[in-house]
Structure 1
Amino acid sequence: MALTTSSALTVGFDLDMTLIDSRPGIHACYVALAERTGTYIDADLAVTRLGPPLAEELVNWFPAEAVDAMGDLYRSMYPTIAIVPTPAMPGAREAIAAVRAAGGRAIVVTAKHEPNAELHLEHLGIEPDAVIGDLWAEQKAGALREHGAGIYVGDHVGDVRGARTAGAVAVTVATGPCDAAELRSAGADVVLGDLTEFPAWLSDYCPARA
């Protein structure tokens, strides 16, 4: 992929399993939703396939006609259940700091409900320049283009599709449900083990970009 020619460095980051390990909080929220509705949900299984929109998971446990209402209920329960148990991923703060140190802007573009995404970041003391939620896969491209992001960092093949649709460099971390081989097969330009490797990669990328 050709590197962006824009002079301003803007890096987009996915949230779940990229900047935050959302599994503990989401697991707790699914358990609470199951208790609240009397519906069986395999929370252990659900947290192995994070990334796609909530509705794509809920349809496995609820009738299609109930998914919207269950999604609203889940999102309303989420702030009091899922925020506190959710830690930052190793290297998350340092990755944002590396972008700033390079004179760039860091934004978050995520499929997560935007108010809940903002709560996670506030709780963890991570302060991106913008947070754009409720976008998945190719839908992320519009926000990335709007903010001039030449790099998008994610953990899922859907993130690769979003980056490539936006014409951004697709940087991936093998910390989510997709392993390194899947990410490469999906067309990732860069596959890192986790975000602790991102500052060194960015340090090498910036002179080449210039």
Structure 2
Amino acid sequence: MTPLTPLPPLVPPLAVGFDLDMTLIDSRPGIARAYGILAEETGTEIDTDLVVSRLGPPVEIEMANWFPPEDVQLMSDRYRKLYAEYGVAGVTPLPGAREALAAVHAAGGRTVVVTGKFTPNARLNLEALDMRVDALHGDVFAAGKAEALRAEGVRVYVGDHLGDVEGAREADAFPVAVTTGPYDAESLRAAGAGVVLTDLTAFPAWLTGYLAAPC
């Protein structure tokens, strides 16, 4: 009897995750506008330049810097409505974002956005920019992203924040970082990023090399 040839090990289908704000899109103008309107409505001084310099954590964390605890949830909900109405139009893709998504699809993979942004607003951003992704998970941050990443079978997760690196590592996904957000390359590497890119323009070439490397 001819012995059976062992089958090669199964490689899971490619799924690549991306953060949204300051990874795929520059949402700073829209966020600043929504916070500015909120400041006018409430008579509260909000430093919008400071706000957009530290994007990543949930809105409630930022809002706690400007409003008393009892008002944080109300103001966060109001901000999200203002952003949907006035902020989406000010958002643009970051360099290489479209090409990065296309590279994953060209490799036969799925693109998954996992973001701390309010899910309906994240969807509005993607639709407004005609950026096609295969799955979207919002309202999660840092290690909280791991559940969505695992559920989608994400092998590589790309983000600009230390929390993105944490989420990737928690999900056993390869953490790719970009320096388009609030952290420099040294900080991202220290947090555990497997590779740090200046922006997403370098991602397609990196992905080609990653997929060609022996498992």
TM-score, shorter chain, exceeding 0.5: yes
Cα distance in 2 for partners of 1:181, 1:52 equals 20
Of 69, 82, 98, 1:93 maps to 98
CA distance in 1 between counterparts of 2:26 and 2:204 reads 19
Provide the C-alpha distance between the structure 2 equivalents of 1:199 and 1:160, rounded to a whole number of angstroms. 19
SS in 2 for 1:84: helix
Structure 1: gaps of 5 or more residues: none
Amino acid at match of 1:182: S
**Selected match of 2:108 from 82, 94, 103:** 103
Question: Which of 22, 28, 36 is the aligned partner of 2:33?
Answer: 28
Shift in Å, 1:77: 1.1
Match of 1:75 in 2: 80
- Residues 1:66 and 2:71 are matched in the alignment: yes
Q: Which among 44, 48, 52 is matched to residue 47 of structure 1?
A: 52
CA distance in 1, matches of 2:198, 2:83: 29
For the residues of structure 2 that align with 1:145 and 1:132, how far apart are their CA atoms?
A: 12
Give the Cα separation in 1 of the matches to 2:172 and 2:124: 29
> 1 CA distance for matches of 2:125 and 2:185?
26
Matched, 1:146 2:187: no
Q: Give the alignment's Cα RMSD to 1 decimal.
A: 0.9
Q: 2:163 aligns to what? A: 158
Identity of aligned residues (%): 58
Distance in 2 between residues matched to 1:157 and 1:209, nearest whole Å? 28
Q: CA–CA distance in 2 between the matches of 1:80 and 1:33?
A: 12
CA distance in 1, matches of 2:135, 2:73: 27
Q: Highest Rg: 1 or 2?
A: 2
The DSSP-based 3-state class of the residue aligned with 1:71 is helix
Return the TM-score normalized by structure 1.
0.96
- Residue identity opposite 1:119 in structure 2: L
Post-superposition offset of 1:208: 1.0
> Where in structure 2 are there 5+ consecutive unaligned residues?
1-9
One-letter amino acid matched to 1:97: A
Partner of 1:11: 16
Question: For residues 4-27 of structure 1, what are the alpha-carbon distances to aligned partners after superposition, in whole Å with 9 as ceiling and x for unaligned?
Answer: x74200000000000000111001
Distance 2:86 2:49 in 1: 16
TM-score (norm 2): 0.94
**2:29 and 2:14 mapped to 1: Cα distance?**
33
